Amino acid sequence: MPQSAPQAISPGIHYGADEDANPPFVPHPMLSRSDFQKLHRARRRFSWTLTAIMLIAYFGFILTLAFRPDLLAIQLVSGQPMSVGIPVGFGMFAFTFALVAVYVYRTNTVYDRMIANVRDGVPS
């Protein structure tokens, strides 16, 4: 027997037999609050900015490998086998770690405080 997702029904609203299958959508009151919308916009803008930075860095690295491998093949020290590409590749890991650290720091300091204020009803 197929199961459907639970339906959120506001207390005090009663539906007839025909309406039980598709109750009207009642948006959560939190969604219309300006402080919640400000939090949502800030988090979305920040996460998309970090995503764009990461994509530019990775695609730049991959496109350099594809179209200009000679740039990454330059030797660091003449006569030694290590090229520029090796530290640049490790730098990509360090860059990723740094972006994650920035995201975690921002989430734990700014957004957690904003979430607590929204939850407690403190105006921003």
Residue 70 lies in a domain: yes
Residue 56 lies in a domain: yes
The number of folded domains in the chain is 1
How confident is the model over 51-109, as pLDDT tens digits?
999 999 999 999 999 999 999 999 998 888 899 999 999 999 999 999 999 999 999 99
Residue 103 lies in a domain: yes
Residue 80 lies in a domain: yes
Residue 67 lies in a domain: yes
Residue 84 lies in a domain: yes
- Please give the residue range of the domain that contains residue 59: 30-120
Residue 10 lies in a domain: no
How confident is the model over 17-41, as pLDDT tens digits?
555 567 777 787 778 888 889 999 9
Half-sphere exposure of 88 (CA within 13 A, CB side): 18
Residue 12 lies in a domain: no
Count Cβ atoms below 10 Å from residue 118 Cβ, excluding itself. 19
Q: How large is the angle between the packed helices 34-67 and 85-106, nearest 10 degrees? A: 180
pTM of the full structure: 0.70
